[in-house]
Chains A and B, each alone.
Chain A
Amino acid sequence: MSKSSFVRTAMIAPSLPPASERGVIKWLRENLFSGPFNTILTLVAIWAIYTLIKGSVPWLSNSVWNAESLRECRDIVIAQSGEEATGACWAMVRVRWNQFLFGLYEVSEYWRPTTAFALMFVALTPVLYYGLRRPATILVGVVSVLLVLALFGLGTDSGHILMMAAIMAVLTAVAWIAPKRLVIVTILFPLIAFYMLWGGSVWGPVGTFVGFAIFALVWWISQRFVGVVVAAAVGLIAAAIWWGTLQTAFTTALHTAMPIELLYIRSDDFGGFLLAFVIGITAITASLPIGILLALGRQSDMPIVKTLSVGFIEFFRGVPLITVLFAANFMLLYFLPPRTNFDLILRVIIVVIIFASAYIAEVIRGGLAALPRGQYEAADALGLDYWQAQRLIIMPQALKISIPGIVSSFIGLFKDTTLVALVGLMDPLQGVTKVVRSDTAWKGIYWEPYLFVGAIFFLVCFSMSRYSMYLENKLKTDHR
């Protein structure tokens, strides 16, 4: 038997794919140079990126952080990197930092808006992590540390820092021991924030709070007898009686007995990002419930309620926000009783709330319309009344569907807070930047303030949109 035949006993190791089909080259071929058109696109994109980098990198790398005027900035840049060099003058942001954040707010009272801002996160904790001990504690703890650091940075007196540190320590402890109790902070937050920001006598907000408490009490007692809607009306009447007649006497009496007060800050002094956040956050919180009610009104079977809701929504969606703001500025004086003196910020906030709620209503109506009819019928079949059905069956689903729309309305709303400058408030974009640019020391500066303001807006809006995407994923219960 000849041994000439050859049988391979081991497999040849698989050879690598051709060089053009693997690794970086393959990726480049597939993703950047897959055809003549794509190649051209890639080259154009590279050229665009190159121009951007060429324009901005030297400018950014020559940044000046310490100077007192634009001229000084330019001199420093020229001294550092030669006659033709350009450099960013961030010293402007440094010098005007407080004004960008607080406008003309009283310097010694900077701790108040800062604390209110920190408390906002504490108030948000139950919304984000209801009853979850660890994340709640971590959030409140981190906010506490940041708050104390920020107060140090703003040069607050040590008395207030100690007080705030103590309060925040208590809140952190509450978050650890009974995280659900933080809801109390959430409920009280609007009044606390209002008082912290505007100041004045402590008894004013307390009186307002008593009104709300009366409303809640009357509503809770009467709702089992007359139904939810009528009970709300009765409660509202009771609260109105309190606010209209009794409150002033009550608060003046208490104020003379126990004068506890913070320095009163006039609305005109609000400015910068403080103003943007006050308007934006108030409008966001208030427009959601009003928007839900409007959407329900529009979907309602009652023709008069429906017509009114449609009219309201279409009117406010049909006119530009600026005209509504100007109306608040000019026309409200005619519509209110003679000699009513209404704070401009309050007017603007109310108008923005009304405007935003019309948009939210449309978004939520979309969510309501997207629910299959069976859901409504199932709720009826279970014997739930209208409000129970809305609360337990319809709204949780409709709101979940409309999260992306709601958040993008919120983003739009926050961006629109810049428009208040056009009625004379000092928002960060128009108001503060204009003041800075008309200062002789900073005349001729334009990239830096706009980039700075734009970057902060971008940060806030971008994180909101990312959070909505996260929420959407988290709440996605259909397995597709």
Chain B
Amino acid sequence: MTLASDTPKDSFRLSMLIYDTRYRSYTIQFIVLGLVMLFFMWLVNNTITNLADRGKDIGFGFLWSRAGYDIDQQLIPYTNDSTHFRALLIGLLNTFAVAIAACFLATVIGVTVGILRLSNNWLVARLMTVYVEVFRNVPLLLWIILTYVIFSETRPVPKDYKVTDEMIAAGQAPKATMALWDTVAVTNRSTNLPAPLLDRPLGGFDFLSIPINLSVLATLAVIIGSVWFNRRLLKRAKAIQEATGDRPTTWWKSLLILFVPVILLLTAMGLHWEYPVLKGFNFQGGYSIAHSFTALTIAISLYSASYVAESVRAGILAISKGQSEAAYALGLRPNRTMNLVVLPQALRVIVPPMISQYLNITKNTTLGTAISYLDLKGTLGGITLNQTGRELECMMLMMLIYLVISLMISTVLNVYNTSVKLKER
């Protein structure tokens, strides 16, 4: 009779590397590692041979030579005499500009659409369903190009805005007029917006060759200070309410704290607006925003909003009906129920897909290439690459930057996920 304790002696035989599950995993991993290393060695070897064949080397020194091309949207100063590295920075900032604007718009539109899709209103719910389905099932590239084409083909040319003396005499209206009380002009070239100007600016300085505007900094500081004071005020009011049962009136104090300092500061600096004016063949003055930016932002926002809407809808539907019924039973009103019971739980479901949607938006900004928007892909991976012929370095650097951005966003996502995870015991 064999007993369970009669285990065979553990003498190691070579065949155990294949047949024994304890050792087999080591064999497999060893082989896999070997194959992968061989593969990479092969790649590196090929690359070295190819580079030698073409008489090239690997080096990032080209980043410090003169770029020599113009970029029409620049958030920090840049001329064609600047370096390729500067062009890279401009591209990166342009990427962020579109990404941030599109994330913001997509969230606003998406949340609205997601809630409206669940509304009792039959017509609105259907309309929103159509919107979501249409935008989700058609490629983003089509929306980007279509928006761009509509902007540049259907908007009037600048000279249509021209009002000459003969036209006034004949009582003729110009072919096109500026929108919003003559402040905004959308031509087939760009969108022209009024720009804020200061009579007595606070000046600025250069930090790492990036100009810092003190006036903007001061305004931001004042706004942040006001918000902080307002929060302290509300906290105090709440404390008084909890101690005495009476809540002191705060609304006019809040308004005062929030708005008066900013307005005082801006008047002291002499804020006025510079409106775009037609001079010669195009509008001068104010901000001129290229259609590539506008179209890219609008298209990405509308497209991603449909995804955001779906995740918002899924999040709200994921909260069981019992939760809101319990809240009603406690006597909470519908909007308090939404704010205090449903939303805090729904956010747990909504936010993770939302953050990964932000990640997608950031990656999708690369599609701006199709309408010649000069983002990171357009500068580093486009013109710089073509001018210097350093494909390997440019592509690797560009992938690395996108990878870092993605990993940063995923880190934020993971931190959020761990912080809201249901604490189970």
Residues in A lying within 8 Å of B, measured CB to CB: 30-32, 34, 38, 41-42, 45-46, 48-49, 226-227, 229-230, 233, 301-305, 308, 314-315, 317-323, 326-327, 330-331, 333-338, 411, 415-416, 418-419, 421-422, 429-430, 433, 444, 446, 450, 453-454, 457-458, 461-462, 465
Tell me if B122 and A32 are in contact (CB < 8 A): yes
Bound together, the chains give a CA A433 to CA B142 distance in angstroms of 11
Tell me if A457 and B142 are in contact (CB < 8 A): yes
Bound together, the chains give a CA A82 to CA B385 distance in angstroms of 53
* Chain B, range 115-149, C-beta contacts under 8 Å to A: 116, 119-124, 127, 133-134, 136-142, 145-146, 149
Tell me if A446 and B149 are in contact (CB < 8 A): yes
Partner of B25, one of A38, A301, A337, A458: A301
Which residue of chain A is the closest to B31 with respect to CB atoms? A233
A-B CB contact pairs (8 Å), 28 listed: A31-B121, A31-B122, A32-B123, A38-B121, A42-B121, A42-B124, A45-B124, A229-B28, A304-B32, A304-B33, A308-B32, A320-B364, A323-B377, A323-B395, A323-B399, A331-B391, A334-B392, A335-B46, A337-B46, A337-B49, A421-B141, A429-B142, A430-B145, A450-B146, A454-B139, A458-B137, A461-B136, A461-B137
Report B-chain residues with C-beta under 8 Å of the C-beta of A302.
Answer: 25, 28-29
Tell me if B142 and A450 are in contact (CB < 8 A): yes
Total interface residues in chain B, CB < 8 Å: 56
* Chain B nearest Cβ from A19, distance in angstroms: 20
Which residue of chain B is the closest to A339 with respect to CB atoms? B53
Bound together, the chains give a CA A421 to CA B142 distance in angstroms of 12
Known A-B contacts A430-B145, A462-B133; the reply to A227 vs B407 at CB < 8 A is: no
Tell me if A41 and B121 are in contact (CB < 8 A): yes
Report A-chain residues with C-beta under 8 Å of the C-beta of B33.
Answer: 304
Give the tally of cross-chain contacts (CB within 8 A).
156
Tell me if A319 and B138 are in contact (CB < 8 A): no
Known A-B contacts A302-B28, A308-B32, A338-B53; the reply to A327 vs B370 at CB < 8 A is: no
Report B-chain residues with C-beta under 8 Å of the C-beta of A337.
Answer: 46, 49
Tell me if B138 and A461 are in contact (CB < 8 A): yes
Q: Let me know if B369 is at the binding interface, CB within 8 A.
A: yes
Which residue of chain A is the closest to B36 with respect to CB atoms? A308
Partner of A419, one of B121, B367, B392: B367
Bound together, the chains give a CA A462 to CA B129 distance in angstroms of 13
Report B-chain residues with C-beta under 8 Å of the C-beta of A305.
Answer: 28-29, 32
Report A-chain residues with C-beta under 8 Å of the C-beta of B146.
Answer: 446, 450, 454
* Chain B, range 371-421, C-beta contacts under 8 Å to A: 377, 381, 385, 391-392, 395, 398-399, 402-403, 406-407, 410
Report B-chain residues with C-beta under 8 Å of the C-beta of A315.
Answer: 403
Tell me if B407 and A457 are in contact (CB < 8 A): no
* Chain A nearest Cβ from B20, distance in angstroms: 12
Report B-chain residues with C-beta under 8 Å of the C-beta of A419.
Answer: 141, 367
Q: Let me know if B51 is at the binding interface, CB within 8 A.
A: yes
* Chain B nearest Cβ from A264, distance in angstroms: 28
Report B-chain residues with C-beta under 8 Å of the C-beta of A336.
Answer: 46
Q: Let me know if B47 is at the binding interface, CB within 8 A.
A: yes
Q: Let me know if B317 is at the binding interface, CB within 8 A.
A: no
Partner of B139, one of A45, A334, A429: A429
* Chain B, range 56-114, C-beta contacts under 8 Å to A: none
Bound together, the chains give a CA A188 to CA B154 distance in angstroms of 51
Which residue of chain A is the closest to B403 with respect to CB atoms? A318
Bound together, the chains give a CA A301 to CA B137 distance in angstroms of 38
Tell me if B141 and A418 are in contact (CB < 8 A): yes
Which residue of chain A is the closest to B391 with respect to CB atoms? A330
* Chain B nearest Cβ from A49, distance in angstroms: 7
Bound together, the chains give a CA A333 to CA B377 distance in angstroms of 20
Report A-chain residues with C-beta under 8 Å of the C-beta of B137.
Answer: 411, 415, 457-458, 461-462, 465
Report A-chain residues with C-beta under 8 Å of the C-beta of B406.
Answer: 317-319
Report A-chain residues with C-beta under 8 Å of the C-beta of B363.
Answer: 319-321
Partner of B399, one of A327, A418, A453: A327
* Chain B nearest Cβ from A339, distance in angstroms: 9
Bound together, the chains give a CA A450 to CA B33 distance in angstroms of 48
Bound together, the chains give a CA A453 to CA B149 distance in angstroms of 15
Please give me the 8 A-B residue pairs with the lowest Cβ-Cβ distance, nearest first.
A318-B406, A330-B391, A461-B137, A31-B122, A320-B363, A415-B139, A304-B29, A320-B366
Partner of A48, one of B127, B149, B370, B385: B127
Supplied contacts A418-B142, A429-B145, 15 more A-B pairs, CB within 8 Å: A41-B123, A302-B25, A302-B29, A315-B403, A318-B410, A323-B399, A326-B395, A330-B392, A334-B50, A419-B141, A421-B141, A430-B145, A457-B137, A457-B139, A461-B137
Report B-chain residues with C-beta under 8 Å of the C-beta of A326.
Answer: 381, 395
Tell me if A418 and B392 are in contact (CB < 8 A): no
What per-residue 1/0 map shows which CB atoms of B18-62 lie under 8 Å from chain A?
A: 100000010011011100100000010011011101000000000
Bound together, the chains give a CA A450 to CA B150 distance in angstroms of 11
Report A-chain residues with C-beta under 8 Å of the C-beta of B31.
Answer: 233
Tell me if A331 and B395 are in contact (CB < 8 A): yes
Q: Let me know if B153 is at the binding interface, CB within 8 A.
A: yes
Report A-chain residues with C-beta under 8 Å of the C-beta of B122.
Answer: 31-32
* Chain B nearest Cβ from A213, distance in angstroms: 24
Report B-chain residues with C-beta under 8 Å of the C-beta of A335.
Answer: 43, 46-47
Bound together, the chains give a CA A314 to CA B411 distance in angstroms of 12
What per-residue 1/0 map shows which CB atoms of B166-207 lie under 8 Å from chain A?
A: 000000000000000000000000000000000000000000
Report A-chain residues with C-beta under 8 Å of the C-beta of B140.
Answer: 415
Known A-B contacts A31-B121, A45-B124; the reply to A454 vs B402 at CB < 8 A is: no
* Chain B nearest Cβ from A236, distance in angstroms: 11
Q: In the complex, which of the residues B31, B36, B142, B403 has the most CB atoms of chain A within 10 Å of its own CB atom?
A: B142
Bound together, the chains give a CA A362 to CA B120 distance in angstroms of 36
Bound together, the chains give a CA A45 to CA B366 distance in angstroms of 34
Which residue of chain B is the closest to A422 with respect to CB atoms? B369
Tell me if B403 and A338 are in contact (CB < 8 A): no
Report A-chain residues with C-beta under 8 Å of the C-beta of B124.
Answer: 41-42, 45
Tell me if A318 and B407 are in contact (CB < 8 A): yes
Bound together, the chains give a CA A318 to CA B404 distance in angstroms of 8
Q: In the complex, which of the residues B136, B141, B146, B150 has the most CB atoms of chain A within 10 Å of its own CB atom?
A: B141
Bound together, the chains give a CA A15 to CA B53 distance in angstroms of 96
Tell me if B138 and A338 are in contact (CB < 8 A): no
Report B-chain residues with C-beta under 8 Å of the C-beta of A430.
Answer: 141, 145, 370
Bound together, the chains give a CA A462 to CA B43 distance in angstroms of 41
Which residue of chain A is the closest to B43 with respect to CB atoms? A335
Which residue of chain A is the closest to B389 with respect to CB atoms? A330
Bound together, the chains give a CA A305 to CA B33 distance in angstroms of 8
Report A-chain residues with C-beta under 8 Å of the C-beta of B120.
Answer: 30-31, 34, 38
* Chain B nearest Cβ from A341, distance in angstroms: 13
Report A-chain residues with C-beta under 8 Å of the C-beta of B391.
Answer: 330-331, 333-334
Report B-chain residues with C-beta under 8 Å of the C-beta of A418.
Answer: 139, 141-142
Partner of A454, one of B123, B136, B142, B395: B142
Report A-chain residues with C-beta under 8 Å of the C-beta of B49.
Answer: 337-338
Bound together, the chains give a CA A411 to CA B137 distance in angstroms of 8
Bound together, the chains give a CA A32 to CA B139 distance in angstroms of 33
Known A-B contacts A31-B121, A302-B25, A304-B29; the reply to A450 vs B149 at CB < 8 A is: yes
